[in-house]
Chain A
Amino acid sequence: MLKKTHAPQMIGLVLVIFFALFPFVYSANDYPYIMHIFITGFFYAILASSWSMLAGYAGQFSFGHMGFMGIGAYTAALVSHYFYMSPVPTNFCTEFAIGDSYLIILNPIGVTSSTLAQDCLKQAMEVWNGSVEVTPIPVWLSITLGTLMGGIFGLLVGALVLPLRAAYLALFTLGFSEILRAVISAEIAITRGQAGIELRYMFEDGITLFGRRFEQTDKLPAYFVMFFLLLLCLGILALLARSKFGLFVRALREDQDAAAALGVNTTRYKVMVFVITSMMAAGAGAAMAHYVGIVSPNNIVILQMSLVVAMAVIGGVENFVAAAIGAILLEFMLEMLRSSFVIGPIEVDMTTWRLVVFGVLLMLTLRFSPKGLLMPIIEYFTRGHIAKETVAKRDEPKMGDASRTESSQ
């Protein structure tokens, strides 16, 4: 028997089936473009949903989430750019023997200009004259390394921000992400600074799936990789939210001291939530970097962060599914709003105005529906039948102008 409370699960299932079938059903001319929007949408969905776990569930308003994304992306980029495997030692590079083969660390000579691509590996290749096959680090490994690096930095930042709350935490994490960006733009010898660092595509040599050949530029494999990552993240978040962990981090959000007094190990859970969410951000960043093929410090700027924050808030910051769906919808909306139009004599350039619309939408959502736009719909189905008393007290008084003036008098 289908009940009203099952509606969100049903809709979720329908959405998953829709996204799983979409690439096979859709066949219009703008197929690659639409696919690209969805891949980007999944990327933002991972970031928004993990940020909602951090900010909405645990109450840690971190502005360093894009910084963790950047750590994942840059780790993947550096690994895929500087590390190679070779069966024979080059005798030019720094290299370590691992089993039968050698791990080569590139020591580039002319890195500051991208045209002058002379490095120790190229020298060795000239000597070998094509007799030796050098393999780059596989993409899955560099994504894994990126994710792990995100976890390590998450541990560090999580441990450092332990005594900080609210505004101080926001400022600290903002400082962390700004330092990261400055270091990446300044250390040109390693990261190539503002020019950005190139890395291998996710499927550099193409891939054959079920007898169908996909080239490097085909969107379908990347689409499913991103989609799978998103489902994985949502699954992990769902498990966490339903377990004791979810209960404890929500207790942390409501009152850290009270939670500690009731026996919650606040230190452990605060650090853990940082590690888990930053690993998700880093993993998404590494995968996205391999999909786009280039990363630059501009991906870490605060405006990118505000995009994620806005998506999570508009979707519903206290529910990670709402945040994820909100991110996909908003990414789609932002792309659709790109087209400029003309009203009378004025030509409206929508490429900038759409972001103004977006900002106004964010502010209005916060003001009039602080739980987001999707969250109330989900709540209507899941909580509609529960007695009013069980709904948390702070949700009770609806913020309206009438009641506000009443209480301020």
Chain B
Amino acid sequence: MEFPVIFWGVFAWMISWGVVGSVVTRRVYLNKDLDTSNAGMVGSMLGASTGPVGLILLWIKTPPITSRMMLFPSLAAVGVFMVAFAIADPNNLCVVNGSFVASQISNGLIIGIIYGFMALGLTLIFSILGVVSFAHGEFYMIGGMITYFVTTVWFPGINPMIGIGIACIATFAIGATFERLFLTPMYSGKIGRPVEYGILITFGLAFTLQYFVQALVGANPVKAKRFFDFPRIRLPDAADPWLIKTSRGNLELFDTISISNPRFTAAIMCILVFIALMYFLRRTWTGKALRAVSQDREAAAIAGINPDRMNMLAFALGSMIAALAGAMLVQAFSWLPQVGAIPAMRSFVIVVLGGLGSIPGAFLGGVIVGLVEAAGTGCIPDAQQAASYIPAYGMFVLILTLLLRPTGLLGRRFSSATHGKF
């Protein structure tokens, strides 16, 4: 049989049992008066991976749901999907070529770390202000634009770190100013629906910033040159460098995995900043105050923390993180005023997947989305079609997460920012 028939057949089978599982399991658990919060998730994943067999067992026994019961069926469902793909299309690069798979996975990991870092800013803003900042992509774009102009146009030859620093300071200032001017009425209860107001006002900011930058710099793509060169390394020896081989712009591991310099440096820098940020959030007074406000606004205020001040800091810091991600990726991609839209969407996906407000969740979500996109781009036979679908992979993940487990992978059920709402 040919590819589409097997593949779409298995796909339809999984989807239909997933839907049946999700709907019926919730009913069964409700009838037995058990906790239904994750029943839909378990039911759909078990249905997708094992079909009716597992589902009937589940409905008869109705065990209390643990996180393990969610993890293993989900992994099994992914496994079944991959096996179906491999059987359906045995000649695909993703199936036969191990080194292709390895390099796709490593690329997915590296880009996923950068995505996760950018989403970290969004999750910081959300956990403290309760606002999903729709201007996140525009801060990313501005960070890249400022870095490009400082390092390439205004002061060529300057240390790129200075350019990144200027971009960070500028976006921090924009974020803080915007928060003071436009977000303050949200906190005092003067606006009927603060969450909707936050969505609309950041949407307006995104619109304004994007066209403002376009009006200033025009719509031609720009690109910064590489910030750093790799040192020349040949390991284990120069004649046969099977372990590590570097050239100025490329790193090759085990003769198979090739990582380009800009992405590598960006990922390393993201990890470093992430560690610094974690130190800031866990060890300093201000960081602890930020986390306290994210857990309980009133209690933090009683303990002597000014929540309004923390709101400003969180928004500015979150925007700066997005700008930092942009500043580091401007050496990897060509840059346009519209470049922020896709990373912003990706950040939404990641924070929802990881759990809105959860910092480790943002990184985990970033890596998962990176891998999903790498798999989607590498495995679809028609390259042009695969490229057109790139924005959609993440969105599929988003929609699945919202339908099955709106709290996300590591989300807290109630953080002060969600106001108990989904």
A interface, CB within 8 angstroms of B: 55, 59, 61, 160, 163-168, 170-172, 174-176, 178-179, 181-183, 185-188, 193, 253, 301-303, 306, 309-310, 313, 349, 352-353, 355-356, 358-360, 362-363, 366-367, 370, 394-395, 397, 399, 403-404, 407-408
Interchain CA distance A367-B183 in the complex, whole Å: 8
Contact with A along B199-232 (1 / 0, CB 8 A): 1110111111111101100000000000000000
A171 vs B197: C-alpha distance when bound (angstroms): 15
B345 within 8 A of A: yes
Any A CB within 8 A of the CB of B341: yes
C-alpha gap A366/B406 in the complex (Å) = 29
Contacts of B61 in A (CB 8 A): none
CB distance A171 to B398 under 8 Å?
A: yes
Q: Are A178 and B392 in contact (CB under 8 A)?
A: yes
Q: In the complex, which residue of chain A has the Cβ closest to the Cβ of B352?
A: A171
* In the A-B complex, the 9 residue pairs with the closest CB atoms: A359-B208, A182-B392, A186-B388, A175-B395, A352-B215, A355-B211, A359-B207, A394-B192, A362-B204
Interface residues of B (CB under 8 A from A): 126, 131-132, 181-182, 184-185, 187-193, 195-197, 199-201, 203-212, 214-215, 308, 341, 345, 348-349, 352, 356, 384-385, 388-392, 395-396, 398-399, 402-403, 406, 421-422
Q: Which residues of B contact A163 (CB under 8 A)?
A: 406, 422
How far apart are the CA atoms of A174 and B395 in the complex, in Å? Answer: 9
Closest to A186 in B: B388
Set of chain A residues within 8 Å of B196, measured between Cβ atoms: 55, 59, 61, 166
Q: Are A168 and B422 in contact (CB under 8 A)?
A: yes
Residue from A59, A188, A367, A404 in contact with B384 in the complex, judged by beta carbons closer than 8 Å: A188
Closest Cβ–Cβ distance, residue B100 to chain A (whole Å)? 22
Q: Is the CB of B406 within 8 A of A164?
A: yes
30 contacts across the A-B interface (CB closer than 8 A): A163-B406, A163-B422, A164-B422, A167-B132, A167-B195, A168-B402, A168-B422, A171-B398, A175-B398, A182-B392, A183-B392, A185-B388, A186-B388, A188-B385, A309-B200, A310-B204, A310-B207, A313-B204, A353-B211, A355-B207, A356-B208, A358-B207, A363-B208, A367-B185, A367-B201, A370-B197, A394-B192, A407-B190, A408-B187, A408-B188
A362-B204, A394-B192, A407-B189 given; 18 more Cβ-contact pairs under 8 Å: A165-B422, A167-B356, A170-B199, A171-B352, A171-B402, A174-B348, A175-B398, A179-B399, A306-B203, A358-B211, A359-B211, A362-B208, A363-B182, A366-B200, A366-B204, A367-B181, A404-B185, A408-B187
Determine which of A175, A253, A302, A309 lies in contact with B399 in the assembled complex, contact meaning CB atoms within 8 Å.
A175
Q: By the criterion CB–CB under 8 Å, are A363 and B205 in contact?
A: yes
* A residues less than 8 Å from B349 (CB atoms): 175
Chain B residue contacts of A185, Cβ below 8 A: 388
Q: B126 to chain A: which residues have CB within 8 Å?
A: 167
Contact B191 A399 (CB under 8 A): yes
Asked if residues B388 and A193 are in contact (CB atoms below 8 Å), the reply is yes
Q: A166-B421, A183-B392, A397-B190 are in contact. Are A363 and B204 (CB under 8 A)?
A: yes
CB pair B188 A407 closer than 8 Å: yes
Instruction: Evaluate contact between B398 and A182: CB separation under 8 angstroms.
Output: no
A residues within 8 A CB of B389?
Answer: 182-183, 186
A266 CB, nearest partner CB in chain B, Å: 14
- Tell me the nearest residue of chain A to B342, going by C-beta: A178
Q: Smallest Cβ distance from A44 to chain B, in angstroms? A: 15
Bound form: Cα–Cα A185–B387 in Å: 10
Main secondary structure of the interface of A (DSSP, over half): helix
Residues of A close to B348: CB separation below 8 A: 171, 174-175
Closest Cβ of chain B: how far from A408's Cβ, in Å? 6
Instruction: Give the dominant DSSP class at B's interface.
Output: helix
Question: Are A166 and B399 within 8 A (Cβ)?
Answer: no
**CB-based nearest A residue for B198:** A167
Nearest A residue to B190 by beta-carbon distance?
A399
Contact between B132 and A302 (Cβ–Cβ < 8 Å)? no
The CA of A353 and the CA of B308, in the complex, are separated in Å by 33
- Would A182 and B391 be within 8 Å (CB), given that A174-B345, A188-B384, A408-B308 are in contact? yes
Q: Which chain A residues lie closer than 8 Å to B199 at the CB level?
A: 61, 166-167, 170
Residues of A within 8 A of B192 (CB): 394-395
User: Could you tell me the distance between the alpha carbons of A367 and B209 in the complex, rounded to whole angstroms?
Assistant: 17
| Cross-interface CB contact of B188 among A309, A352, A358, A404, cutoff 8 Å | A404
Nearest-neighbour CB distance to chain B for A397, whole angstroms, equals 6
Please, how many angstroms separate the alpha-carbon atoms of A306 and B199 in the complex? 11
Give the CA-CA distance A360 to B215 in the complex, in Å: 14
- Given A363-B208, A366-B197, do A353 and B392 touch, yes or no (CB 8 Å)? no
- C-alpha gap A222/B364 in the complex (Å): 52
Give the most central of B187, B402, B403, B421: most A CB within 10 Å: B402
Give the distance in Å from the alpha carbon of A170 to the alpha carbon of B195 in the complex: 11
Return A274 CB to nearest CB of chain B, in Å: 16
A3 to B197, CA, bound (A): 35
Within 8 Å CB of A360, what residues of B?
A: 208
Q: Are A352 and B214 in contact (CB under 8 A)?
A: yes
**Given A178-B395, A186-B389, A359-B211, are A165 and B201 neighbors across the interface (CB < 8 Å)?**
no
Which residue of chain B has the shortest Cβ distance to A404 in the bound complex?
A: B188
State the CA gap A317–B211 with chains docked (Å). 23
The answer on a CB contact under 8 Å between A359 and B204 is: yes
Interface centre among A193, A313, A358, A370 (most CB of B within 10 A): A370
In the docked arrangement, what's the CA distance between A194 and B402, Å? 29
Complex Cα distance, B418 from A164, in Å, reads 12
Residues B391 and A178 in contact, CB atoms below 8 Å apart? yes
Q: Which residue of B lies closest to A307 (CB)?
A: B207
A160 touches B188 (CB 8 A): no
- Measured between beta carbons, the chain B residues less than 8 angstroms from A59 are 193, 196
Partner of B195, one of A166, A174, A404: A166
Q: Which of A172, A179, A352 contacts B392 (CB 8 A)?
A: A179
Chain A residues positioned under 8 Å from B193 (CB to CB)? 59, 166, 253
